[in-house]
Structure 1
Amino acid sequence: MAHPFSRSLLCRLLFLVMSLASQRCYCVRTFEFDVHHRFSDPVKGILGVQDLPEKGSREYYVAMSHRDRIFRGRGLVGGDRTVLTFADGNETYRLSSFGYLHYANVSVGTPALSFLVALDTGSDLFWLPCNCTSCVQSLQSGSGQTINLSIYGPEASSTSKNVLCNSTFCELQRQCPSSGSSCPYQIQYLSNGTSSSGVLVEDVLHLITDDDQTQEDDARITFGCGQIQTGSFLSGAAPNGLFGLGMQSISVPSILAKGGLTSNSFSMCFGADGVGRIRFGDNGSSDQGKTPFNLRASQPTYNISITQIIVGGNATDLEFYAIFDSGTSFTYLNDPAYTQITTSFNSMIKENRHSSGSGEDLPFEFCYDLSSNQTNFEVPMLNLTMKGGDNYYVINPLLVLYNEDVPAGYCLGIVKSDDVNIIGHLHAENFMTGYSIVFDRDNMILGWKESNCYDDVHSNSSKSPTNKSPTPALAVNPEDTSNQSNSSPYRNPFTFIFIVVLFPLLAII
């Protein structure tokens, strides 16, 4: 038996969707919905989630780093377009009890059921909890309210169809007793015994056109009927399903493109306030920066090449690969790139480097103390030159920590990796803040353009930042609390302004 969202919760979610949804439409055919960080005030207020590790606290960054480790194993072992959006609305939510990932409220089946699914460029299969013997069926909100989560059931949907073992989507055909059997699937994650398994099914994903006609444009998609979830999926990470955005043919963007609903591309944008947008069918604009993907047939990922590191105007030629991953909060670099960036950055900082005390477990090595009543400081500008020559200026490389509403210090938001390099996509103060990132699979390029995720991200009227020559240092005011809902602080990407909400936070000193 399915367990739908409570009527009151769904009404509140829909109210949030209507109140925050963009009223503009800038292309002819895309999927579009807003992205909201779980720390944004609208999300915390609507969902009643208040008792969380506060943004900027030690626990906040430790939790984000822990959640990254859980998910890093997933994928590691234009023309005219119609504007489309999810029928349940275009907002997403970032929730601590959902593993610190971003989620979209999507509806599947007939009659439709709503699911809060994690958005993930690091994996391919879209799966939902389904007739499950091991899954999360409800959560407790911060106010103590029980939130029932939808559970999909093929027998309850008149449009559901089994995917048989002779399907091209079936990768586990050897486990099938016959070609007419239902196709099994199993995804084994590398951390903490985390997995999802079940059978593949086909059903409709409910979409509507984002125009004055608001017509239905449903898509038949193949996804996992997740009967058994284990590990972190039972303790908070993606309990209500995972929305695959990867390159392989079974991912949602691939299915939408093959069905002719969109071009084979999408973009993701994240603002400093935690509100963003994802657009299916978006190939970006002619004035965006771009670099080609490095394809590996065995494990295709959104992997790019960086050829030069510039810190404070000092350039070092160093070629290395990195994966752009929406399921990773921070940026993880291994040597020699990690040492090159951190030591160069450290040599230009005037503040004293923080001495970690016993019991401190922040994931960052390069943190600095701010003196009492210090109102500003300077940090060197960080620029990555991508293969092809376009520059990617890191608008926001820092994380500020607070002690009882007072800025106490800051960290360079890079974690040392012992394996692959990952450019984290979701953390509201990291390497992708202030940009619309385009995953263009038609042309096999990664694109980027400055955006605050509110204004017209497709406008060609503003100059692209990719060819500017920045000043070598950024002036930081950690106490600036400007509201950027109507105007972007990133129009001059080299004036560094922190947009923060002050909470009582734990000290790092």
Structure 2
Amino acid sequence: PTMAGSQRERSKDRSAKKLLLLLLCGYHAVVARAWNNPHGYKVAAIGSRKAEAVCSVTPSSSSGATVPLNHRHGPCSPAPSAKAPTILELLQHDQLRAKYIKQKLSGTAGLQPLDLTVPTTLGSALNTLEYVITVGIGSPAVTQTMMIDTGSDVSWVRCNSTDGVTLFDPSKSTTYAPFSCSSAACAQLGTQGNNCSSSGCQYSVQYFDGSNTTGTYGSDTLALSDADTVTDFHFGCSYHEEEMDEEKFDGLMGLGGDVPSLVSQTAATYGKSFSYCLPPTNSTSGFLTFGAPNGTSGFVTTPMLRYTQAPTFYGVLLKDISVGGTPLRIQSSVFSGGSVMDSGTVITWLPRRAYSALSSAFRSGMRRYPRAAPVGILDTCYDFTGLSNVSVPTVELVFDGGAVMDLDSDGIMIEHCLAFAPTSDESFIGNVQQRTFEVLHDVGQGIFGFRSGTC
């Protein structure tokens, strides 16, 4: 070739290299923009935000009786626990709770063996309950720190303790009255009644983690706030507890859907409606409110499912799940059994086909981060060593009627793992996924409502 031809070839080669370089730079720029594009991803803080306690209460959407709601193991709790369960312990108890609820829904609780024999009076696992409220009981009122549970109906407080300190002494309340064995309230206990004694009607609740409480069933004045009182609050006065840890709580407030629950007891006042906002971390506060909001503006709503064989529980119908803005298009038959919305179940349990689709899509969106070993039943985990913030794909739960819960970043992962697990049939929406939403239970109207970014 001639010298001129060689120069032209070299010029073409340089131009081609420049073009290739521009294309590569452009490609990386597009990739960077796509990765940093907020659409389809959420930024999650690793550790730093959780260190600061913010215990102020965000206002509820309702003007009803509002009680501050706090994580019982965090600094905002009125009596913070000295020892929180490990994630493995929490997940183990969560499995037990899910198994028990599944048996209740099938109408076979107490008939089929699980990890231990289940008596018909069994309640859900006590050690999965994470949120507490402070109320006053009696006249004069005695302050009580009580765990809340939408999966329980019978409320109770400790009237005796192993160290001899009386937590609530009914003899010192001028408004306390035990129920007689022939009373309607005693009959409403059903299998959780324990015959009679010289003290009157007796109750008995055994929990799936092996703990139990028994005592006298009676009534007294309940102060939810300075301005809101329930004059005939039915509850158990516990004189005997077994296998209960030494956590600093005084009892349990049952918010289930059956007759003995506080929700049913106060139907005439609050219309069988309540809402709560579970805080994103154990260092922040939420609220529990009785009464419906003035309209559902700001809420997305979906029909509430009820279970004839297990009226304690509240359910919803999942239709699909979206990850990173893309619907997974899960067949509706996968969710046909409904999903229990439960404050005491920690993570969300999905039918295996739904979980497989979710975890696969989530892993695809998390390819930039190294995988970590499973944590108990959680098998989609990551190594975030040295990072203060990470980008996680959005996860949206789509319910019947089109209501969408766009989960908060704290509702997607727990302990650096995807906060979901597979189950064989019935599914459960756990409290991790409910965090930061005001979750409205309007039992009277038969609807669930979700208002995002509330606490």
TM-score of the superposition, structure 1-length normalised? Answer: 0.64
SS at match of 1:383: strand
Question: Which residue of the other structure, out of 168, 172, 180, is the alignment partner of 1:164?
Answer: 180
Q: 1:290 to 1:244 in 2, by over 3 A?
A: same
Gaps of at least 5 residues in structure 2 are: 1-53, 105-125
Structure 2 partner of 1:295:
306
Query: Measured at CA, do residues 365 and 271 of structure 1 come closer, stay the same or move farther in structure 2, by a change above 3 Å?
Result: same
Determine if the alignment matches structure 1 residue 412 to structure 2 residue 428.
Answer: no
Query: Is structure 2 residue 269 aligned with structure 1 residue 267?
Result: no
Q: Deviations over 1:274-316 (max 9, x none)?
A: 3111111134623411111211122121111101122221331
Change (3 A) 1:65 1:166: same
Question: Retained in 1: the 8 A contact 2:76–2:285?
Answer: no
1:186 maps to a residue whose letter is S
The residue that corresponds to 1:151 in the other structure is 167
Q: Aligned to 2:137, which of 87, 105, 108?
A: 108
8 Å CA contact 1:109, 1:157 repeated in 2: yes
Distance 2:341 2:300 in 1: 15
Deviations 1:299-352 (A, max 9, x none): 121111101122221331333121111112222223122222112212332135
Secondary structure of the equivalent of 1:388? helix
Q: CA RMSD in A?
A: 3.3
Tell me if 1:438 matches 2:440: yes
Find the aligned partners of 1:115 and 1:98 in 2 and give their Cα distance.
19
Distance 1:177 1:367, change over 3 A: closer
The answer on whether the counterparts of 1:67 and 1:100 sit within 8 Å (CA) in structure 2 is no
Q: 1:39 to 1:197 in 2, by over 3 A?
A: closer
Cα distance in 2 for partners of 1:126, 1:64 equals 23
Contact map agreement 2:215 2:239 (CA 8 A) in 1: yes
Q: 1:25 to 1:353 in 2, by over 3 A?
A: closer
- For residue 316 of structure 1, the aligned residue among 329, 349, 353 is 329
Contact kept in structure 1, 2:340 and 2:428, CA below 8 Å: yes
Q: Which amino acid aligns with 1:255?
A: Q
Q: Does the 8 Å CA contact 1:73/1:189 hold for their aligned counterparts?
A: no
Equivalent residue for 2:153, pick from 115, 118, 124: 124
State the match for 2:378 in structure 1. Answer: 364
Contact 1:306 1:318 (C-alpha < 8 Å) held by counterparts: no
Q: CA deviation at 1:152?
A: 2.7
- Alpha-carbon separation, structure 2, partners of 1:394 and 1:26: 20
**Corresponding position: 1:330 with 2:350:** no
| Equivalent residue letter for 1:62 | L
Q: Secondary structure at the match of 2:366?
A: coil
Match of 2:202 among 184, 194, 203: 184
Give 1:68 shift. 2.9
Amino acid at match of 2:207: Y
Determine the C-alpha separation between the residues in 1 that align with 2:136 and 2:280.
Answer: 28
- Tell me, yes or no, if the aligned pair for 1:108 and 1:204 is still in contact at 8 Å: yes
1:142-181: per-residue Cα shift (whole Å, max 9, x none)?
xxxxxx6x53333332211121222233235996469x98
Q: Secondary structure at the match of 2:241?
A: strand
> 1:223 aligned to 2:229?
no
- How far apart in 2 are the matches of 1:25 and 1:383? 23
How far, CA to CA, are the matches of 1:310 and 1:278 in structure 2? 29
Measured after TM superposition, the shift of residue 451 of structure 1 is: 2.6
1:269/1:451 contact within 8 Å kept: no
Name stretches of at least 5 consecutive residues in structure 1 with no aligned partner: 1-18, 54-58, 78-96, 139-147, 210-214, 402-409, 454-509
Contact kept? 1:264, 1:442, Cα under 8 Å: yes
SS at match of 1:365: coil
Provide the residue aligned with 1:496 in structure 2: none
Larger Rg: 2
Relative contact order, higher structure (CA 8 A, sep 6+): 2
Opposite residue 105 of structure 1, the aligned amino acid is T
Task: Write the distance in 2 (CA, Å) between the matches of 1:68 and 1:236.
Answer: 20
C-alpha offsets along residues 41-94 of structure 1, whole Å, 9 cap, x if unaligned? 555xx8576x656xxxxx7422432443465567553xxxxxxxxxxxxxxxxx
Give the match for residue 250 of structure 2.
240
Q: Residue 493 of structure 1 corresponds to which residue in structure 2?
A: none
Distance 1:238 1:186, change over 3 A: farther
Aligned residues: 367
In the TM superposition, 1:11-90 aligns within 5 A as 22=57, 27-28=62-63, 30-38=64-72, 40-43=74-77, 52=83, 60-69=86-95, 71-72=97-98, 77=104
State how far apart, in whole Å, the 1-side matches of 2:190 and 2:398 are. Answer: 41
Cα 1:184–1:418 change in 2 (3 A) is farther
The 2-side partners of 1:340 and 1:256 are apart by: 42
Q: Which amino acid aligns with 1:411?
A: C
- Deviation of residue 257 (structure 1)? 1.9
| Inter-CA distance 345–69: structure 2 relative to 1 (3 Å threshold) | same
Question: Residues 494-505 of structure 1: matches in 2 within 5 Å?
Answer: none
- The share of aligned pairs that are identical, in percent, is 23
Is the CA contact 1:74–1:189 (under 8 Å) kept in the aligned structure 2?
no
Partners in 2 of 1:105 and 1:74 — Cα distance? 28
Q: What amino acid is aligned across from residue 382 of structure 2 in structure 1?
A: Y
**SS of 2:310's equivalent?**
coil
